[in-house]
Structure 1
């Protein structure tokens, strides 16, 4: 391969990996809970080490970015950080009851390693939930959640994780993945309406 072709291929690969590179920096800052220049620079070093020293196969991105859904994801994430922190704090200091915990399995809709990883990281960053295991073959995230005391609470937590997956796909997923999550959400809503109708009829 000619030097010019090699340089062009390197530039193309670097450009395609830029969103993933920036996500690593943002993830580093979120994990440390600091949005400072020091956190940015140390995250930059960590991202360089991860992407250049540990030579993993390149991550194939969809090439699609929707800034509107990206901002919506960030806003909702920040809101849930606050809600999760307040909820966990109240569960700790509430003398009336000891918070119960559960490990729930959440089947992912999209068969994509990067989307699954981002969904798991997002769920783990929300106080009160933590990914403890993954089943890559069956696309299932196993999440430890505190404060669940009913089947309805479990389903609510499962729906929240699927919502994170949908938000991420809408922001950076491919067109086919967007259609997948939309169809899956429509199917879940139809199932919930059918269950509610059956419950109302039995009552």
Structure 2
């Protein structure tokens, strides 16, 4: 009769895999809670102890009573790329806010809106959620719908004057996705963001 090497119990591998599985689930829950707290504070427009505490309570309640679909993180965190994403996002946030302010105070000006569809290149729930959130936080852009199956975002963009503005809005959305993948994506996802999808848009 032969036994496991080094005298280890036969179910040691199963127990180890079970522990890794539990750790992975707890890690995913912690990451989801962290993003919920961040989104809560961004919606309030201010990060303080009260918003952090209420975000933790609300996020915990959401995860307990309204479980989110399992979202696994298979990428790698790259601090330099994450800082680059944060810096570029801050610049675009200020620029878009100034643009909307100019439209608001310009007498007699009626901005024209448009609805466009942008198909993302990385079809994971995490990438879809992060890209949609980052795009919708910039003034002048609103997420109308999300097609999870095809990873397509339907956006309403403000102040468009022709096809060139629609193309620029699509490129900005894909650039946001590219910066997010560079910050937290896997090597395979990094290669995938070089592919350009076929997109559609209709003005209104």
Same fold (TM over 0.5): yes
Retained in 2: the 8 A contact 1:17–1:61? no
1:115 to 106, 111, 127: 127
- 2:107 is the counterpart of 1:98: no
Deviation at 1:109, TM superposition (A): 1.0
Q: Which residue, out of 161, 164, 181, partners 2:176?
A: 164
What is the deviation of 1:55?
A: 2.5
C-alpha contact 2:96 2:138 (8 A) present in aligned 1: yes
Specify the alignment match of 1:38 in structure 2. Answer: 50
Q: Could you give the per-residue CA deviations for residues 110-168 of structure 1, whole angstroms, max 9, x where no partner exists?
A: 11122112111111110000010122233221100111111111111110010111111
Report the Cα distance in structure 1 between the residues aligned to 2:41 and 2:161, rounded to whole angstroms.
33
* Distance (whole Å) between structure 2 residues aligned to residue 10 and residue 78 of structure 1: 37
Match in the other structure for 1:140: 152
Aligned residue for 1:179, secondary structure, equals helix
Judged with a 3 Å threshold, the aligned counterparts in structure 2 of structure 1 residues 172 and 136 are, in CA distance, closer, same or farther, namely same
Partner in structure 2 of residue 27 of structure 1: 39
C-alpha RMSD of the superposition: 2.4
Structure 1 residues 1-42: Cα deviation after superposition (integer angstroms, max 9, x where no partner)? 99x877764334212443332122111111110111111111
- CA pair 11-66 structure 1, distance change in 2 beyond 3 A: same
1:155 pairs with 2:182: no
Q: After TM superposition, give the deviation of residue 52 of structure 1 in Å.
A: 2.4
Summarize the Cα distance change of 1:115–1:130 in structure 2 as closer, same or farther, 3 Å threshold: same
- TM-score where L is the length of structure 1: 0.82
Change (3 A) 1:63 1:18: farther
Structure 1 residues 32 and 13: alpha-carbon distance in aligned structure 2, compared to 1, 3 A threshold? same
Consecutive unaligned residues in structure 1, runs of 5 or more: 189-203
Any stretches of 5+ residues in structure 2 without a counterpart? 1-10, 199-204
**Once the two structures are superposed, what CA deviation does each residue of 1:146-192 show, in whole Å capped at 9, x if it has no partner?**
111111111111100101111111111111101111x226x99xxxx
TM-score (norm 2): 0.81
Are 2:78 and 1:66 equivalent residues in the alignment?
Answer: yes
Aligned residues: 185
